């Protein structure tokens, strides 16, 4: 976006191109939300990032919390003092926060509280593609699903309003295509934030011992019934297109595809667009069912709407046929929906012909891209993780097992390193390493990033000390939450308000947890780092080696700011084109042209790793050894 | 206007996302409805990057349907080929000639396809191809990195592109860092001129 200050403009009616996530940030300002907490995660990150950039000017409090659970706790504390709050996270973050979510539904909130869950159909940058609408069903909390940036902004405001009316947290569920699609957004009026809360002691409401939880469960169900009434009248649940051939029920970005697919096929389709997808507007849906002979539910991932629509049909519209992906699978249950996929499904259901021959296009395309070199994401030139993986692979070889974690360093699985044997969720490297080490007796090196270590690595480390597990925890500390956009974390000494903070050192935490062997190394000093890692592997209990060097992208930015020029590595006449640098490092700045190794000066970050590893000393340049 | 669909394909770091945002912002300035869709995260690490821009009153979906692009704006030859699925005989493929060899080539000791091979692949889908020497023109404008602005200029000169060049330049001024504005505007003009002249010749 242009200057982030655009978000602060007091200009109702102004139209601006905003990313879905930026629109949510604007919605925060229009709703008077005053406490914003987050843990960064694609596709949710820009919500917190934009707020972080404007928080002090806007008079808000914003923090990058250590994890999503803590983020919800902090915001829920504030919301229970009557302050409006919002927490943003990626879908899997809600798993981390689920313990809090499920019982916060019982206590409720006083100030409006919105939890944004950004789902990732197609796993563009996630380990799974779970459908978080089920959390609404599970917790009995209201859920809103915007389909574009304008709605993302409006629904943020609406979510705060209904949260306050119902005294319940509200889920705002986006998907990658909603969060990461830009569209025109019309500004509304700004609302002055209010950061001043008051805590009123109310044990029956806030202390969830069984005697209080039971009646609060009843309260939750009563409020959910009220929410259902709201859903019946919600301006976001409405028939957006009239038509009698079939009735389509859809939400979120799937709705966009459904509408365009209906137009493409020339279908006389009625479309019921649902923006509030929990609780569902049962009467509205029943009426829609009763005015159509055939209903098609178009939604991404799980048959969340379809299941409920079928239940409604059974009770209230027995003669209407409902289809989607449950019995006959007209639409895929995995991956993201596209207009093409929706058109294919609708075509099967209605026998209308798709006017574009997609199969022909696909056939031609397959032929044209056969053998085309791929371009997967790789570690950047100068990335300190490359040095760390080089050291880890050199020392651990094929002997060791390498549990891996969530972050840029997941790219260590790619050649030439192949470091990464099991990767499941945030922090899991430390725990899975212990199980593997316990039953195989093999050397086990868990690789985990700095931000991930703070997020979920510490309990696992305590467990390793307590239970005497023989593992090495290699913390790849690049001094930022790099993957999601270099957000600060407890180890960086900066807060979300962009103020200085106490810097919490990972090595001190490890020592505090009782780890006896703790070392900090510079990964670019490969010899020293290798010696330390060898020693760590010889310990009888857990050990921690912190590989510390700043993310190369941050480092380059900092150097540019200071006017320091990076002098690229240089290949001398000693080069025998043995390709060791290519084989060992896979650095994008080292290329081969006509059988000869060449340094691409535009991309070389002058990290010196190739200078260190060249067996002939044929490379010249700065080097940390 | 029915709708105008553009697919921008390039490599992380080429300014593909910024170019897409400039088009989107220009469309909003012109009072048009638009969707600009991008994929972040893993895609940033030197990987392939694709943006979809759809302009039109009734546009809802984020991505361009297969075969339905009006323009495939290729920032790099391989990535242009990789995104041909969006092309058909009605599509204009506008491609930067500047190659960025993927690191896989070095590791496998394989070779980058020749210009003829790339063009032959494009011709399977459409005969409408314009190759833009964006690196050269950007250098002429004052900075090799301004290739994205050259390509934006080239796009702005395409017949049927629904946004006036003035709006695109305004959006550029707003979105490009101040100290690089002059170079980028020059690059934009050079890109636009090239396509205009080319059209006259045809």
The ipTM assigned to this model is 0.96
Pick from A261, A587, A529, A240: nearest CA to A411: A587
For residue B70, the distance in angstroms to the closest alpha carbon of chain A comes to 15
Q: For A132-149, write each residue's pLDDT tens digit.
A: 999 999 999 999 999 999
User: From CA A74, how far away is CA A71, in angstroms rounded?
Assistant: 5
The model scores a pTM over 0.90: yes
Chain B residues 150-179 with CB within 8 Å of chain A: 174-175
B33 touches chain A (CB under 8 A): yes
Q: What is the mean predicted confidence (pLDDT) over A349-358?
A: 96
Amino acid B13: pLDDT: 86
The C-alpha angle with vertex B192 and arms to B188 and B195, in degrees rounded to 5, equals 145
Helix H or strand E segment including A276? strand A276-278
- HSE, side-chain direction, 13 A CA sphere, residue A218: 5
**Are the beta carbons of A448 and A430 closer than 8 angstroms?**
yes
Answer whether CATH 3.30.565.10 is correct for domain A237-360: no
Amino acid B93: pLDDT: 98
3-state SS track over A549-588: CCCHHHHHHHHHHHCCCCCCCEECCCCCCCCHHHHHHCCC
Q: How confident is the model at residue B202 (pLDDT cuts 50, 70, 90)?
A: very low
Report percent pLDDT > 70 for chain A: 100
Helix H or strand E segment including A440? helix A428-440
Name residues whose C-beta falls within 8 Å of residue A570's C-beta, 6 or more positions apart in sequence: A599, A619, A620, A621
- HSE, side-chain direction, 13 A CA sphere, residue B43: 21
Where along chain A do its domains lie? 4-194+201-233, 237-360, 384-558, 565-620
Residue A126's SS3 state is: coil
Residues β-bridged to residue A118: A90, A174
User: From CA A57, how far away is CA A36, in angstroms rounded?
Assistant: 14
DSSP for A326-394 reads: SSSBSS-SSS---HHHHHHHHHHHH-PPPSS-HHHHHHHHHHHHTTPPP----PPTT-HHHHHHHHHHH
For residue A361, the distance in angstroms to the closest alpha carbon of chain B comes to 7
Given a cut of 80, whether residue A78 has pLDDT beyond it is: yes
Q: What is the CATH number of domain A565-620?
A: 3.30.70.20
B36 touches chain A (CB under 8 A): yes
Given a cut of 50, whether residue A325 has pLDDT beyond it is: yes
Name residues whose C-beta falls within 8 Å of residue A622's C-beta, 6 or more positions apart in sequence: A567, A606, A608, A611
Q: For A243-298, write each residue's pLDDT tens digit.
A: 999 999 999 999 999 999 999 999 999 999 999 999 999 999 999 999 999 999 99
Amino acid A595: pLDDT: 85
Alpha helices in B46-158 (DSSP H): 77-82, 103-108, 115-125, 134-141, 147-156
Q: How confident is the model at residue B199 (pLDDT cuts 50, 70, 90)?
A: low
Amino acid B1: pLDDT: 58
Domains and CATH numbers, chain B: 4-201 (3.40.920.10)
Amino acid B40: pLDDT: 61
Residue B109 DSSP class: T
Q: For A456-507, write each residue's pLDDT tens digit.
A: 999 999 999 999 999 999 999 999 999 999 999 999 999 999 999 999 999 9
Q: What is the CATH number of domain A384-558?
A: 3.40.50.970
B81 touches chain A (CB under 8 A): yes
Q: Give the chain B residue whose CA is nearest to the CA of A122.
A: B39
Amino acid A544: pLDDT: 98
Instruction: Please report residues of B whose CB lies closer than 8 A to that of A365.
Output: 84-85
Q: For A19-56, write each residue's pLDDT tens digit.
A: 999 999 999 999 999 999 999 999 999 999 999 999 99
CATH assignment of A4-194+201-233, given 1.10.10.10, 3.40.50.970, 3.40.710.10, 3.40.718.10? Answer: 3.40.50.970
Q: For A164-197, write each residue's pLDDT tens digit.
A: 999 999 999 999 999 999 999 999 999 999 999 9
Q: For A79-115, write each residue's pLDDT tens digit.
A: 999 999 999 999 999 999 999 999 999 999 999 999 9
Q: For B30-45, write each residue's pLDDT tens digit.
A: 999 999 998 765 556 6
Pick from A605, A566, A609, A571: nearest CA to A389: A609
Q: What is the mean predicted confidence (pLDDT) over B173-185?
A: 94
Residue to substitute from A21, A250, A298, A377, interface B, most B β-carbons within 10 A: A377
Structure tokens that stand for A375 in this block: 């371009």
Amino acid B125: pLDDT: 98
B47 touches chain A (CB under 8 A): yes
Pick from A551, A535, A555: nearest CA to A543: A535
User: From CA B140, how far away is CA A176, in angstroms rounded?
Assistant: 38
The C-alpha angle with vertex A169 and arms to A165 and A174, in degrees rounded to 5, equals 115
The C-alpha angle with vertex A435 and arms to A433 and A439, in degrees rounded to 5, equals 115
User: From CA A295, how far away is CA A282, in angstroms rounded?
Assistant: 15
> Identical fold at A4-194+201-233 and A384-558?
yes
**Are the beta carbons of A407 and A486 closer than 8 angstroms?**
no
Compute the Cα dihedral for A120, A121, A126, A132 and give only its sign.
positive
Q: What is the mean predicted confidence (pLDDT) over A380-396?
A: 97
Q: What is the mean predicted confidence (pLDDT) over A394-419?
A: 96
CB contact under 8 A, A340 and B101: no
Amino acid B101: pLDDT: 87
Given a cut of 70, whether residue A416 has pLDDT beyond it is: yes
User: From CA A222, how far away is CA A210, in angstroms rounded?
Assistant: 19
């Amino acid at each position: 976006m242009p200057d982030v200050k655009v978000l602060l403009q007091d200009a109702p009616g102004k139209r601006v191109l905003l990313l879905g996530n930026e629109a949510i940030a604007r919605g925060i300002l229009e709703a008077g939300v005053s406490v914003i907490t987050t843990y960064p995660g694609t596709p949710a990150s820009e919500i917190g990032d934009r707020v972080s950039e404007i928080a002090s000017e806007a008079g808000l409090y914003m923090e990058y919390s250590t994890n999503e659970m803590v983020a919800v706790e902090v915001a829920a504390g504030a919301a229970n003092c009557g302050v409006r709050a919002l927490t943003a996270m990626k879908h899997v973050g809600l798993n981390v926060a689920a313990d809090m979510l499920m019982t916060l539904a019982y206590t409720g909130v006083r100030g409006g509280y919105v939890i944004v869950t950004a789902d990732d159909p197609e796993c563009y940058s996630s380990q799974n593609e779970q459908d978080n609408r089920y959390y609404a069903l599970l917790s009995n909390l209201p859920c809103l699903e915007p389909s574009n940036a304008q709605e993302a902004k409006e629904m943020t405001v609406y979510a705060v309003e209904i949260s306050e009316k119902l005294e319940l947290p509200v889920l705002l569920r986006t998907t990658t295509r909603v969060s990461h699609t830009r569209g025109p957004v019309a500004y509304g009026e700004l609302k002055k934030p209010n950061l001043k809360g008051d805590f009123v002691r109310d044990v029956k409401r806030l202390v969830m011992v069984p005697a209080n939880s039971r009646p609060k469960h009843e309260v939750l169900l009563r409020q959910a019934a009220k929410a259902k009434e709201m859903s019946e009248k919600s301006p976001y649940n409405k028939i957006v297109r009239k038509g009698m051939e079939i009735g389509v029920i859809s939400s979120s970005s799937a709705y966009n595809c459904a509408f365009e697919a209906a137009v493409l096929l020339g279908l006389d389709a009625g479309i019921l667009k649902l923006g509030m997808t929990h609780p569902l507007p049962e009467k509205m849906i029943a009426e829609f069912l009763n005015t159509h002979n055939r209903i098609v539910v178009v939604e991404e991932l799980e048959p969340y709407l379809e299941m409920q629509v079928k239940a409604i049909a059974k009770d209230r519209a027995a003669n209407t046929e409902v289809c989607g992906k449950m019995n006959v699978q007209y639409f895929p249950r995995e991956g993201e929906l596209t207009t093409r996929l929706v058109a294919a499904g609708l075509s099967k259901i209605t026998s209308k012909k798709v006017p574009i021959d997609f199969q022909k296009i696909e056939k031609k395309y397959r032929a044209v891209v056969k053998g085309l070199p791929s371009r997967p994401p790789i570690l950047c030139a100068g990335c300190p993780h490359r040095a760390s993986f080089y050291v880890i692979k050199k020392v651990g070889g094929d002997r060791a097992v390498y549990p891996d974690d969530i972050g840029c360093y997941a790219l260590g699985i790619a050649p030439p390193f192949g470091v990464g044997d099991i990767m499941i969720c945030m922090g899991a490297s430390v725990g899975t390493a212990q199980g593997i080490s316990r039953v195989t007796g093999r050397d086990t090196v868990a690789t985990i990033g700095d931000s991930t270590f703070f997020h979920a690595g510490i309990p696992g480390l305590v467990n390793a000390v307590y239970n005497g597990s023989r593992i090495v925890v290699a913390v790849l500390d690049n001094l930022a939450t790099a993957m999601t956009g270099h957000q600060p974390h407890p180890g960086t000494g900066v807060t979300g308000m962009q103020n200085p903070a106490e810097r919490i050192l990972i090595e001190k935490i490890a020592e505090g947890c009782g780890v006896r062997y703790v070392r900090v190394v510079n990964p670019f000093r490969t010899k020293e780092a290798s010696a330390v890692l060898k020693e760590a592997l010889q310990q009888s209990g857990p050990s921690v080696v912190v590989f510390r060097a700043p993310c190369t992208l941050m480092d380059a930015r900092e150097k540019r700011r200071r006017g320091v020029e990076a002098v690229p590595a240089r290949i001398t006449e000693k080069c025998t084109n043995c390709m060791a640098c290519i084989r060992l490092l896979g650095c994008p700045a080292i290329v081969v042209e006509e059988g000869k190794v060449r340094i691409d000066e535009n991309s070389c970050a002058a990290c010196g790793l190739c200078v260190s590893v060249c067996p002939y000393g044929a490379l010249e340049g700065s080097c940390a050894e | 206007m029915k709708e105008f669909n553009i697919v921008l394909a390039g490599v992380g770091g080429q300014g593909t996302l910024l170019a897409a945002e400039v088009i989107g912002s220009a469309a909003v300035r012109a009072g048009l409805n638009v969707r600009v869709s991008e994929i972040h995260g893993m895609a940033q690490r030197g990987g392939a990057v694709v943006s979809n821009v759809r302009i039109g009153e009734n546009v809802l979906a984020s991505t361009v349907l297969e075969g339905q692009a009006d323009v495939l704006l290729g920032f790099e030859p391989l990535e242009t080929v990789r995104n041909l699925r969006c092309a058909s005989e009605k599509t204009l493929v506008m491609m930067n000639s500047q190659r960025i060899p993927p690191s896989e080539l070095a590791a496998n000791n394989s070779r980058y396809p020749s210009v003829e091979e790339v063009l032959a692949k494009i011709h399977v889908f459409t005969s409408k191809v314009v190759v833009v020497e964006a690196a050269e023109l950007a250098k002429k404008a004052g900075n090799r990195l301004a290739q994205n602005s050259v390509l934006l200029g080239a796009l702005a000169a395409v017949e049927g592109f629904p946004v006036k060049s003035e709006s695109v330049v305004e959006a550029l001024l707003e979105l490009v860092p101040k100290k690089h504005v002059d170079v980028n505007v020059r690059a934009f003009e050079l890109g636009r001129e090239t396509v205009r002249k080319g059209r006259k010749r045809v």
